[in-house]
Amino acid sequence: MYIFKDYYHNEVKLSFADQPFSNSPLHVWVICVYKDKWLLTKHKERGLEFPGGKVERGESAKEAAIREIKEETGGIVEKISYVGQYFVSGKFENVVKNVYFATICSLEEQKTYYETCGPVLLDHIPVDVKQREEYSFMMKDSVLTYCLSHLNLQL
Ligand code: GTP
């Protein structure tokens, strides 16, 4: 278990065990790769981030992950696997989020990308991502770095 502060100084607990905080997490986040590039989306308010969002009623967390990737980037999942789960102690509420790793086989143009501007493909995520205004706060805590090193991947 890793414990650290996020960009907003909220406490985050991250674990690579099988859903240690909740069997029915309400949020998902997916580290996506498409043709040797990172597949992110540009959220209209938060900026660049890996796709993700809320689990809808009647949906599993994995199903939500696959849906969110399609809605926010047009990405069609080839393979997706569970990576870990984190718990954020927020000022007003707590958030439990599953992290997945997905390989994407195609990008289908969507009529709407909802609250995002659609897919963004990157060769590299900058090592100084924490200082970059164009990136979302979700990319600026140790969830990303610990998950990538758990997956043996580099920025
Ligand atoms: P919407 O209903 O989609 O507008 O969401 P919201 O603004 O209510 O936020 P959400 O319920 O997704 O999260 C509430 C708070 O939890 C956020 O303001 C963040 O402080 C925190 N939070 C949510 N997701 C993450 C995350 O991935 N990482 C970190 N560190 N904090 C998060």
Q: What residues does each domain of the chain span?
A: 2-151
Please say whether the structural domain 2-151 has been given the CATH code 3.40.50.720: no
Partners of 53 in the β-ladder: 28
Please give the distance, rounded to the nearest whole angstrom, from the Cα atom of residue 95 to the centre of ligand 1: 7
DSSP state of 147: H
Q: Whole-angstrom Cα distance, residue 29 to residue 43?
A: 13
Is the per-residue pLDDT at 101 higher than 90?
A: yes
Q: Whole-angstrom Cα distance, residue 94 to residue 88?
A: 6
Quick one: pLDDT band at residue 60, thresholds 50, 70, 90? very high
Is the per-residue pLDDT at 154 higher than 90?
A: no
Please give the distance, rounded to the nearest whole angstrom, from the Cα atom of residue 127 to the centre of ligand 1: 23
ipTM, 2 dp: 0.91
Is the per-residue pLDDT at 155 higher than 90?
A: no
What pTM, to 2 d.p., does this model score? 0.96
Q: Is 96 in the pocket of ligand 1 (CB under 6 A)?
A: no
Please give the distance, rounded to the nearest whole angstrom, from the Cα atom of residue 109 to the centre of ligand 1: 27
Side-chain-side CA neighbours of residue 53 (13 Å): 21
Is the per-residue pLDDT at 43 higher than 90?
A: yes
Is the per-residue pLDDT at 30 higher than 90?
A: yes
Q: Which residues neighbour 24 within 8 Å (Cβ) at sequence distance 6 or greater?
A: 55, 61
Q: Which of 88, 129, 135, 144 to mutate to test the pocket of ligand 1 (most atoms within 8 A of CB)?
A: 88
Q: Is 43 in the pocket of ligand 1 (CB under 6 A)?
A: no
